[in-house]
């Protein structure tokens, strides 16, 4: 793909898709795109880059100047999408976005960050550290940056850093996205059963990560959380590459300790071979110490200066919707992408360490965590919240041969088994009105991968008076 091509994106408004489109445009390719809707900040980024895009699915617009040389098909394209049907009918070359990255972005030194949680933040941080230390990596992570950078970039450097998502690649490709990224260096943050809609059993889920570990070359590098080894030690048996561990306990190669969380950030120490490195970050959440120690370990192992690594870590501003503070006055409002009970539990635990008022958690799980198999994971997950509110849930397709997914009422009943104050509020306006009664010192956190239909903005407006 060295020659300049005409590339069309079906579903260009996704965070990763739009960033890849802009990167290809900057390389001189002619890029167009379609989607069911366009919203800031992605629409602004596309417009500023000069990329032609349009709402809806229109074959005549996609083929205005003849058939594209390549079509990147997003998961938004249903089986009856007219542009997707045209691609298949006319034999136009097409790829998923993981396949596009495999062709265009993945480099000789391929750093992949994978795990159930922490991978988006860790990938963004690794990209930041390498960029500030002269490695100029190509990169991709699934989130919206808050510092003006894009979530993907293609460079001439022999280094790439990408988020390794375990979700399936595309409708025609059931394997995990991370299998397309040929890792030479792997940062494995966590392996806790998730996405029951794709991985019906915990064993299926663990095996996917074990296979990823097995892809490492013998001269590669595995940086792995000590928690992963404690729970699933057999995973590292798949590789002959060097294995370096990090975590909170002294048996790890890189240990973080003396963690102190406050409303202005986290302070902690990293211990390695009898040397102590102090780190301060303005980011919230004690789990940031875990994420940052993993990134420090990887960057130190590939030869970067530790003081330079820490300087980059301390300048890092996390991507949006990772304990993002949306309102901070008498009442504090947070927005976080935590869409599983395990992720929600980690966020709530961090908030409880910082705040002492009443914590309201508004939670909407992703599709996999509305399946029957996910129910055990809810036991005690919301212990650190004083009140849990389930909003009207987004409509999801029923998996053939499976029980109907949990609805708002049934999810409320599941959480009530281990929590005394859980309620289902179907009406968005009523939910906002109830939360607006919060008292001084209280905390409200919205947890979920969906956008909450403007409820956060409406609540902030009410709280501002």
Asked whether 143 and 124 are in contact (CB, 8 A), the reply is: yes
Q: Given pLDDT bands bounded at 50, 70 and 90, which one contains residue 2?
A: low
* Dihedral angle computed from the Cα positions of residues 378, 379, 383 and 389, in that order, rounded to the nearest 10 degrees: 40
Q: Is the pLDDT of residue 1 over 60?
A: no
Residue 393: DSSP 8-state: P
Helix (H, G, I), strand (E, B) or coil at 306: helix
pLDDT tens string 325-334: 999 999 999 9
Bridge partners of 276, per DSSP, are 271
Q: Is the pLDDT of residue 424 over 60?
A: yes
Q: What's the pLDDT score for residue 231?
A: 86
What CA–CA distance (Å, rounded) separates 193 from 207?
11
Q: Is the pLDDT of residue 127 over 90?
A: yes
Q: What's the pLDDT score for residue 401?
A: 75
What CA–CA distance (Å, rounded) separates 289 from 348?
16
In the numeric block, the tokens 């022999």 are attached to 158
Q: Given pLDDT bands bounded at 50, 70 and 90, which one contains residue 154?
A: very high
Asked whether 209 and 176 are in contact (CB, 8 A), the reply is: no
Q: Which residues have C-beta within 8 Å of that of residue 113, sequence separation ≥ 6?
A: 119, 122, 123, 126, 161, 162, 163, 164, 186, 187, 189
Q: Is the pLDDT of residue 247 over 60?
A: yes
Q: Is the pLDDT of residue 392 over 80?
A: yes
Q: What distances in angstroms separate CA 21 from CA 49, 81, 173, 201, 332, one per listed residue? A: 10, 20, 21, 36, 36
Helix (H, G, I), strand (E, B) or coil at 62: helix
More confident of the two residues 1 and 269: 269
More confident of the two residues 433 and 146: 433
pLDDT tens string 39-75: 777 888 899 899 999 999 999 999 998 999 999 999 8
Q: Average pLDDT for residues 111-118, to the nearest whole number?
A: 94
Q: Is the pLDDT of residue 432 over 70?
A: yes
Pair of tokens at residue 216: 């490492």
Residue 66: DSSP 8-state: B
Asked whether 18 and 12 are in contact (CB, 8 A), the reply is: yes
* Dihedral angle computed from the Cα positions of residues 71, 75, 78 and 81, in that order, rounded to the nearest 10 degrees: -30
Q: Is the pLDDT of residue 109 over 70?
A: yes
Q: Given pLDDT bands bounded at 50, 70 and 90, which one contains residue 314?
A: very high
pLDDT tens string 235-245: 889 999 999 99
Q: Output b/e per residue, 87-123; b: 16+ Cβ within 10 A.
A: beeeebebbbbbbbbbebbbbebbbbbbbbbbbbbbb
Give the chain's domains with CATH numbers: 6-95 (3.40.50.720), 101-315 (3.40.1190.10), 324-464 (3.90.190.20)
Q: Average pLDDT for residues 406-415, to the nearest whole number?
A: 94
Q: Average pLDDT for residues 77-99, to the nearest whole number?
A: 94
Pair of tokens at residue 237: 């048996």
Q: Which residues have C-beta within 8 Å of that of residue 465, sequence separation ≥ 6?
A: none
Q: Which residues have C-beta within 8 Å of that of residue 97, sequence separation ≥ 6?
A: 14, 16, 17, 20, 72, 74
More confident of the two residues 157 and 150: 157
Q: What distances in angstroms separate CA 365 from CA 399, 417, 429, one per listed residue? A: 16, 17, 20
What CA–CA distance (Å, rounded) separates 422 from 350?
20
Q: What's the pLDDT score for residue 399?
A: 67
Bridge partners of 10, per DSSP, are 34, 73
- Among candidates 131, 142, 66, which has minimal Cα distance to 295? 131
* Dihedral angle computed from the Cα positions of residues 407, 408, 414 and 418, in that order, rounded to the nearest 10 degrees: 160
pLDDT tens string 278-307: 999 998 888 899 999 999 999 999 999 999
What CA–CA distance (Å, rounded) separates 99 from 105?
10
- The mean predicted confidence, pLDDT, of the chain is 92
What CA–CA distance (Å, rounded) separates 118 from 109?
21
What CA–CA distance (Å, rounded) separates 363 from 366?
10
More confident of the two residues 174 and 148: 174
Q: Average pLDDT for residues 232-257, to the nearest whole number?
A: 94
Q: What's the pLDDT score for residue 303?
A: 97
Q: What distances in angstroms separate CA 224 from CA 22, 94, 259, one per listed residue? A: 33, 35, 20
Q: What distances in angstroms separate CA 131 from CA 104, 127, 222, one per listed residue? A: 19, 6, 21
Q: What is the pTM of this model?
A: 0.86
């Amino acid at each position: 793909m060295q020659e300049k091509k005409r590339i069309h994106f079906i579903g260009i408004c996704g965070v990763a898709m739009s960033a890849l489109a802009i990167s290809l445009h900057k390389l001189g390719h002619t890029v167009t795109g379609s989607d069911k809707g366009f919203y800031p900040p992605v629409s602004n980024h596309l417009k500023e880059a000069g990329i032609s895009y349009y709402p809806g699915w229109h074959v005549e617009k996609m083929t205005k100047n003849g058939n594209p040389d390549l079509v990147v098909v997003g998961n938004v394209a249903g089986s009856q999408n007219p542009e997707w049907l045209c691609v298949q009918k006319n034999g136009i070359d097409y790829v998923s976005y993981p396949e596009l990255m495999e062709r265009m972005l993945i480099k000789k030194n391929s750093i992949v960050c994978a795990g159930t949680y922490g991978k988006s933040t860790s990938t963004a941080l690794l990209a930041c550290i390498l960029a500030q230390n002269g490695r100029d990596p190509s990169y991709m992570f699934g989130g919206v940056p808050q510092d003006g950078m894009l979530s993907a970039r293609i460079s001439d450097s022999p280094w790439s850093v990408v988020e390794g998502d375990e979700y399936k690649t595309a409708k025609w490709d059931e394997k995990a996205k991370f299998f397309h990224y040929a890792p030479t260096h792997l940062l494995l943050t966590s392996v806790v059963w998730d996405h029951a809609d794709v991985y019906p059993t915990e064993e299926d889920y663990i095996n996917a990560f074990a296979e990823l570990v097995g892809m490492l070359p013998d001269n590669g590098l595995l940086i792995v959380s000590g928690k992963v080894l404690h729970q699933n030690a057999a995973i590292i048996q798949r590789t002959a590459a060097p294995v370096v561990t990090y975590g909170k306990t002294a048996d790890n190669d890189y240990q973080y300790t003396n963690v102190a969380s406050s409303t202005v950030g986290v302070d902690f120490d990293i211990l390695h071979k009898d040397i102590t490195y102090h780190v301060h970050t303005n980011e919230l959440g004690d789990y940031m110490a875990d994420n940052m120690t993993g990134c420090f370990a990887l960057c130190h192992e590939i030869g970067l200066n530790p003081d330079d690594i820490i300087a980059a870590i301390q300048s890092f501003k996390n991507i949006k919707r990772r304990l993002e503070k949306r309102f901070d006055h008498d009442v504090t409002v947070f927005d976080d992408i935590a869409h599983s009970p395990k992720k929600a539990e980690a966020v709530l635990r961090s908030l409880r360490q910082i705040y002492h008022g009443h914590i309201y958690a508004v939670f909407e799980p992703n599709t996999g965590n509305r399946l029957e198999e996910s129910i055990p994971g809810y036991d005690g997950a919301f212990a650190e919240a004083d009140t849990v509110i389930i909003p009207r849930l987004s409509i999801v397709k029923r998996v053939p041969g499976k029980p109907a997914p949990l609805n708002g009422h049934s999810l409320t009943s599941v959480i009530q088994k281990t929590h005394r104050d859980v309620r289902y509020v179907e009406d968005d306006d009523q939910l906002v009105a109830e939360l607006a009664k919060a008292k001084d010192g209280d905390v409200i956190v919205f947890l979920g991968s969906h956008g909450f239909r403007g409820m956060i903005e409406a609540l902030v407006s009410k709280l501002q008076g």
